[in-house]
Amino acid sequence: MKLREGRLINVSNRLPVEIKNRSGHPRLSRSSGGLATALDSVWRGQHGVWIGWAGAAADSATADTLLQKAARGRSYSFKPVTISRDEVSKFYSGFANEIIWPLFHDMPSRCDFDPEYWEVYQRVNRRFAQVTAEIATAKDVIWAHDYHLMLMGRYLREAGSPAHAGFFLHIPFPAPDIFEKLPWRKSILRALLQYNLLGFQTDRDRYNYLSCLERILPEATASRSDLDNSVVLEGRRTRIGTFPISIAFEEFASHAASHEVESAANQFRHEMTNKFLVLGVDRMDYTKGIPERLKAFRILLRRFPELRHRVTLLQVVVPSREDIPNYKELRREVELLVSQINGEFTEAGWVPIHYMHRSLTRRQLLTYYRAADILLVTSLKDGMNLVAKEFCAAQVEECGVVVLSEFTGAAAELQHGAIVINPYDLTAIAEAIHRACVMPVEEKRSRMRLLRDIVRTYNVQSWADAFLSAASTAEPSVEPKAGREAGGSSPDEDAGIPLIAAGSSHDQRIA
Ligand code: GDG
């Protein structure tokens, strides 16, 4: 969708390009991570401005020139927000990644509720809002992304921004018993209601948000109908919807079908000489369940000795957030497990786990997606998991199997084509891998065709269109509609109500 009038002002913590210092000189590079990958492809052709942090090496003079260069050939320009080193440590590493990230992934014991982080989080959110409000007009639509910017809606209102403003949360929203541990829970719930539209990955996240309002902010009233769901606080209405993010299916599929990827995949399979290639691709993050996956693989090799020599796990782990202590410990744990398992099982001509700790090029990634027999996703909690969707797009021969954690957002859409597992149940993961190894080829194909149909139909463009269309029509401020109050309903009453979802419940089964 292209906005008929006005511009799209996209705001995220990071821009899709980053300025890095190389040999003492600032240089442009692409940002990594799910958000940048997903968004950069939908923005092509959309007139507007992308606001965000351009990286630690960006002083304002250099940043402007390099960002102008990066915008050449794009339909939108970049506008940087300056964040000091101290702010990066307390806003980004601190509040966002040592409080909100673990809490929203149901891991409160990993949180460091340092009050200073909260001070800096407010300050940086206010700065993002100021930079945005300076350029936003009433015809523009502001789209803010993710847990770094939950307060920005409030500061946009305070700065008098007239533009429609939507917010999309890329990570899960926790249930009230978890969320209420947050010392600043009310401020965050109130600030989110200053946006005109709130988007979540799954219905479960949206129900959790509504349940948190019901318990913590009962003055907010929710009204529901078959087509819409909104919350009114102090005369301002916010629409709430489910918008499962996706990928640029055709782009992944056609690149995977290219001659260069096909021959690289054939070459790789030839070198591996094994029958079954199991693939894992994740950022080094404790939410991705990497130790659980490795332990499950060890159980597989112990319980099904006939698979030894015939199955290999290729685990790609992309370095992430390396200055946060939890992440350093995780790397040690993962590498110890890899060496223990390889030490226990390796024999002449066969190493059970091939472990890569680095970032791959898109071509390498597609080569592994195409060459693999099984994709293994064992996230303990995951907003969506784009890797699962990318794997399906790249499976042009349609015979790979997806083993998928039930705690990913992707499971809501892909459950009928994937083998769904509980990532805490290591035996069940091992059995699922075994089942995928012995699955008849007809079943593999019918499952993969279903998965590919879903991802092709509900792609990143349809996700962006659905969100933008809802954001640009959300009313800035109206009186409450007649309807039931949030305080008067139980969470169960919400179940099954379809909202403004972009294909949130694809009730399709294997043919
Ligand atoms: C967050 C949420 C949500 C991975 N390794 C390489 C590489 N990647 C790319 C993949 C994919 C992306 O990174 C990872 O996306 P995920 O969705 O799997 O996970 P997060 O980074 O945690 O993303 C998540 C997402 O936001 C979007 O809303 O789904 O739940 O946590 O695109 O392809 N890319 C390259 N080399 C690699 O080695 N080039």
CB 196, CB 474: distance < 8 Å: yes
- Whether residue 404 has its Cβ less than 6 Å from ligand 1: no
Same domain flag for 241 and 284? no
The set of residues, in sequence order, having a beta carbon less than 8 Å from that of 331 and lying 6+ positions away, is 284, 322, 357
Same domain flag for 234 and 290? no
* Lookup: tokens for 113: 């509720």
Is residue 100 assigned to a domain?
no
Ligand 1 atom, smallest distance to 361 CA: 39
Same domain flag for 419 and 496? no
State the distance from the centre of ligand 1 to the C-alpha of 246, rounded, in angstroms: 11
State the distance from the centre of ligand 1 to the C-alpha of 385, rounded, in angstroms: 7
- Whether residue 46 has its Cβ less than 6 Å from ligand 1: no
Same domain flag for 143 and 218? yes
Q: What is the mean pLDDT of residues 285-294?
A: 98
Burial class for 403, CB neighbours closer than 10 Å (0-12, 13-18, 19+): buried
Instruction: Please tell me the total count of domains within the chain.
Output: 2
Q: What is the mean pLDDT of residues 489-510?
A: 38
Is residue 126 assigned to a domain?
no
- Whether residue 362 has its Cβ less than 6 Å from ligand 1: yes
Q: What is the pLDDT of residue 321?
A: 86
Query: Which ranges of 439-506 would DSSP assign to H, the alpha helix?
Result: 441-457, 460-473, 491-494
Distance CA 381, CA 409 (A): 8
Distance CA 50, CA 71 (A): 10
State the distance from the centre of ligand 1 to the C-alpha of 282, rounded, in angstroms: 7
Ligand 1 atom, smallest distance to 170 CA: 28
Strand pairing category for 401-405 and 419-421: parallel
Query: Is 60 exceeded by the pLDDT of residue 511?
Result: no
Per the model's pLDDT, the better-predicted residue between 129 and 67 turns out to be: 129
- Whether residue 384 has its Cβ less than 6 Å from ligand 1: yes
Ligand 1 atom, smallest distance to 388 CA: 18
pTM: 0.92
Q: What is the pLDDT of residue 339?
A: 98
Which residue's alpha carbon is at the smallest distance from atom 12 of ligand 1?
A: 34
Q: Which residue range(s) make up the domain with 46?
A: 8-82+135-245+463-503
Q: What is the mean pLDDT of residues 303-322?
A: 94
Same domain flag for 423 and 282? yes
368-416 confidence digits (pLDDT tens): 999 999 999 999 999 999 999 999 999 999 999 999 999 999 999 999 9
CB 285, CB 104: distance < 8 Å: no
315-373 confidence digits (pLDDT tens): 999 998 888 888 889 999 999 999 999 999 999 999 999 999 999 999 999 999 999 99
Is residue 125 assigned to a domain?
no
Grade residue 478 by pLDDT with cuts at 50, 70 and 90. Answer: very low
Same domain flag for 362 and 270? yes
Instruction: Read off the CATH number of the domain in which 204 is found.
Output: 3.40.50.2000
- Whether residue 83 has its Cβ less than 6 Å from ligand 1: no
- Whether residue 105 has its Cβ less than 6 Å from ligand 1: no
The set of residues, in sequence order, having a beta carbon less than 8 Å from that of 506 and lying 6+ positions away, is 413, 454, 457, 458
